[in-house]
Amino acid sequence: MRRLISPALATAVCLTVASLILPAAAAPKAKAHAKPAAAEKQSTAVRGGPTYATRDDAMQFADEVAARRKLDPEWVRATIGGARMLTNVPRLMLPAPKGTPKNWHAYRARFIDPVRIAAGVRFWRNNAETLARAENEFGVPAEIIVGIIGVETIYGRNMGSFRVIDALSTLSFDFPQAHPRAAERQAFFREELESFLSTESRTHEDPMRPLGSYAGAMGMPQFMPSSLAKYAVDYDGDGRIDLVNNTVDVIGSVANYFKAFGWKRGMPSTFPVQFDEARLQKATLLAPDIVPTFGADSFVAAGAVLDAQAASFKGLLALIELQNGGDAPTYVAGTQNFYVITRYNWSSYYAMSVLDLGREVKAAMEQ
């Protein structure tokens, strides 16, 4: 997806998300849509301003979606019209002020701790057979899948308490214009809202019930609606996709996502790297950001020092810089598989947290 969004900062109210339990095949068209429930009957997790029923831009968008997707116009209008503007969400989307120092060590500490590691061990033990199956079929190691689910929701403990319809509508119609990429990000959330409405219409569930993060990400793996539609799989073959309660479907869906974005079986995600300061062309190595660009030979020619395994690596590499506030940055050489992890969340800090959590859980398992 995209882009996927960062781990939910929502409060830890883990409720069943009815419409994340999807039929594996399209539902019968003869079944009537579930009517959106009245706003006053919704979860107490909903906090916000007025509904979008009186907003001309929201109702115009509803009509456009209905026409594009061939949905019931009244149902789409009622659904968007019943969404509430979440007054605290727009500010959560603003980037940190310029000059705010990044700190990899502090970031890492948020996700690699005894509680999350212990929960990861339990998750791995309880789902060892499915994780092994997914690794065999998709080529994605168990520790990567375990790392993702642990960073995102602590294995289902923190799946978010915002109504998805409220979050997506707020970011579609009231995205903060102070954001440097406001137009692009608002367009993205409108696409996600449209995808959510399309799925809700197909499954005939109440669109007011699903809960997720403040950005509309859902379930244990925090899939955005478009990712849910494209990559979620019925991995246990029971005829439905459940990313809230069914860890088999969750594991299969995460593995399928990574495979779809180009995960390479058996390829390391990172290699250690040091520098020959006399030859170092750090600006050249950092210019492509995290996109793998350099062969091992050109990487070394620009002043990087690699171990034997990395030096013989046949794929492309990127220099990954993780800043540590006022201390010296941390550097690794990232491969295509490191880049794939950032397709889940566009952050090298996030990707390193996933890798480190998976490694820590695996080490604890082996002990």
Rounded to a whole number of angstroms, the CA Rg of the chain reads: 22
**Stretch 314-339: mean pLDDT, rounded?**
97
**Residue 5: inside a domain, yes or no?**
no
Chosen domain end from 181, 215, 247: 247
Least confident span in 24-38, 250-264, 273-287: 24-38
Measured between alpha carbons, how far is 221 from 160 in angstroms, rounded to an integer?
11
Same domain, 171 and 209: yes
pLDDT value at position 98? 82
Position 99 pLDDT exceeds 90: no
Q: Considering 64, 129, 135, 152, which one is annotated as catalytic? A: 152
Read off φ and ψ for residue 362, nearest 5 degrees. -60, -40
Between these two residues, 43 and 287, which has the higher pLDDT value? 287
Whether this prediction's pTM lies above 0.75 is answered by: yes
pLDDT value at position 138? 98
Same domain, 274 and 236: no
Residue 256 and residue 229 in contact, taking contact as beta carbons nearer than 8 Å: no
**Stretch 276-281: mean pLDDT, rounded?**
96
**Residue 240: inside a domain, yes or no?**
yes
The CATH number for 175's domain is 1.10.8.350
Measured between alpha carbons, how far is 5 from 88 in angstroms, rounded to an integer?
17
Same domain, 73 and 189: yes
**Residue 6: inside a domain, yes or no?**
no
**Stretch 71-94: mean pLDDT, rounded?**
96
**Stretch 58-81: mean pLDDT, rounded?**
98
Residue positions counted in the chain: 367
Measured between alpha carbons, how far is 341 from 261 in angstroms, rounded to an integer?
9
By residue range, what is the domain housing residue 297?
270-334
Same domain, 232 and 192: yes
Please give the mean pLDDT across all residues of the chain: 89
**Residue 107: inside a domain, yes or no?**
no
**Which are the contacts of 141, defined by CB distance < 8 A and separation ≥ 6?**
135, 358
Same domain, 243 and 275: no
pLDDT value at position 10? 34
Letter string b/e over residues 22-50, b meaning 16 or more CB atoms within 10 A of that residue's CB: beeeeeeeeeebbebeebeebeeebebee
Q: How many domains does the chain have?
A: 2
pLDDT value at position 123? 98
State how far the alpha carbon of 169 is from the alpha carbons of 15, 62, 85, 93, 265, in Å. Answer: 21, 11, 7, 14, 39
pLDDT value at position 139? 98
- Under the banding of pLDDT at 50, 70 and 90, the label for residue 204 is confident
Least confident span in 8-12, 24-28, 184-188, 313-317: 8-12
pLDDT value at position 40? 36
pLDDT value at position 49? 85
Measured between alpha carbons, how far is 237 from 249 in angstroms, rounded to an integer?
9
**Residue 148: inside a domain, yes or no?**
no
Same domain, 182 and 88: yes
Least confident span in 51-55, 94-98, 104-108: 94-98
Same domain, 62 and 177: yes
Among 314, 357, 353, 354, which Cα is nearest to 336's? 314
Same domain, 82 and 220: yes
pLDDT value at position 207? 96
pLDDT value at position 337? 98
Position 224 pLDDT exceeds 90: yes
- Under the banding of pLDDT at 50, 70 and 90, the label for residue 137 is very high
pLDDT value at position 149? 98
Same domain, 165 and 199: yes
Residue 243 and residue 253 in contact, taking contact as beta carbons nearer than 8 Å: yes
**Stretch 288-312: mean pLDDT, rounded?**
97
pLDDT value at position 59? 98
Same domain, 311 and 179: no
Between these two residues, 259 and 27, which has the higher pLDDT value? 259
pLDDT value at position 23? 55
Between these two residues, 81 and 47, which has the higher pLDDT value? 81
Q: Is 277 one of the annotated active-site residues of the chain?
A: no
Residue 210 and residue 22 in contact, taking contact as beta carbons nearer than 8 Å: no
Same domain, 175 and 312: no
Residue 229 and residue 109 in contact, taking contact as beta carbons nearer than 8 Å: no
13-59 pLDDT, tens per residue? 333 333 455 555 433 332 344 455 543 334 444 457 899 999 999 99
**Stretch 80-92: mean pLDDT, rounded?**
96
154-195 pLDDT, tens per residue? 999 999 999 999 999 999 999 999 999 999 999 999 999 999
**Residue 212: inside a domain, yes or no?**
yes
3-state SS string over the chain? CCCCCCCCCCCCCCCCCHHHEEECCCCCCCCCCCCCCCHHHCCCCCCCCCECCCCHHHHHHHHHHHHHHCCCHHHHHHHHHCCECCCCHHHHCCCCCCCCCCEHHHHHHHHCCHHHHHHHHHHHHHCHHHHHHHHHHHCCCHHHHHHHHHHHHCCCCCCCCEEHHHHHHHHHHCCCCCCCCHHHHHHHHHHHHHHHHHHHHHHCCCCCCCEECCCCCECCCCECHHHHHHHCCCCCCCCEEECCCCHHHHHHHHHHHHHHCCCCCCCCCEEEEEECCCCCCHHHHHCCCCCCCECHHHHHHCCEEECHHHHCCCCCEEEEEEEECCEEEEEEEECHHHHHHCCCCCCHHHHHHHHHHHHHHHHHHHC
Measured from the Cβ of residue 104, the count of other Cβ atoms closer than 10 Å reads 19
pLDDT value at position 22? 58
pLDDT value at position 87? 94
- Under the banding of pLDDT at 50, 70 and 90, the label for residue 367 is confident
For 36, the token pair is 């959106």
pLDDT value at position 26? 34
Same domain, 230 and 83: yes
